[in-house]
Amino acid sequence: MRPKPEYDEVALRAKIDDHLFSDLWLLVKSGEQPLAWRAAWILDNTTEDSPELIDPILDEIYSMIPLEKSDSNLRHLMKLLLRRPLDLEKAAGLVDLCIDWVLNPKDTVSKRVLGLQLLYELYLLQPEFAHELLTIISECEERGGTRGFFNRLHKVKELVK
């Protein structure tokens, strides 16, 4: 389902209008649904081609992820976070959370895949994390998941080996 054309127009305007970008971010932080989710979607689309726009809100994103209750908002926050180079110290605070998502076959596929992506990005920064990441992947293979999640697991596994 395609979003309303107005959302695309707002996303384009938010690239050049700092005040609009800030207002959308305030809506995301409000947690008021469905406005927060829609604003997160718009920011996700706004920053797809302009990831540097995320920089002023990056610290807040790191802080919000562990507290976010909405899977939809969480998906967009993680996508925003993963568009920028990880801050090793701040990302380390998300490791346990991401491991929990990745290992839980009942969690949403998006949480599992985005959690796995963050763990992979950490491995790229710290190659000594390879053994732990491969252990997590092996455990995931035993616990189950969707075909798409297994496909992503195998791709990451090949990249880490």
Which residues are CB-contacts of 16 (< 8 A; sequence separation ≥ 6)?
A: none
- Percent of the chain scoring above 90 in pLDDT: 89
How many domains are there within the chain?
2
Same domain as 77, residue 4: yes
Same domain as 137, residue 97: yes
The number of CA neighbours under 13 Å toward the Cβ of 20 is: 13
Sequence-ordered strand ranges (E) for 24-112:
none
Examine the pLDDT at 144 and tell me if it is beyond 90: no
Domain boundary among 84, 103, 120: 84
Q: Which of 124, 44, 42, 33 is nearest to 79 (CA)?
A: 44
Plot region of 79 (φ>0 → left; ψ -120 to 50 → alpha; else → beta): alpha
pLDDT, tens only, 67-123: 999 999 999 999 999 999 999 999 999 999 999 999 999 999 999 999 999 999 999
Q: How far is CA 24 from CA 30, 35, 40, 148, 150, in A?
A: 10, 9, 7, 31, 35
State the residue range of the domain holding 59: 1-84
Same domain as 102, residue 154: yes
d(CA 159, CA 142): 20
CB of 64 closer than 8 Å to CB of 80: no
DSSP state of 33: T
pLDDT, tens only, 7-65: 788 888 999 999 999 999 999 999 999 999 999 999 999 999 999 999 999 999 999 99
Amino acid at 65: I
d(CA 50, CA 122): 22
Whole-number pLDDT of residue 1? 46
d(CA 83, CA 77): 10
Whole-number pLDDT of residue 3? 57
DSSP state of 127: G
Same domain as 109, residue 58: no
Same domain as 103, residue 76: no
For the whole model, what pTM was predicted?
Answer: 0.92
CB of 97 closer than 8 Å to CB of 111: no
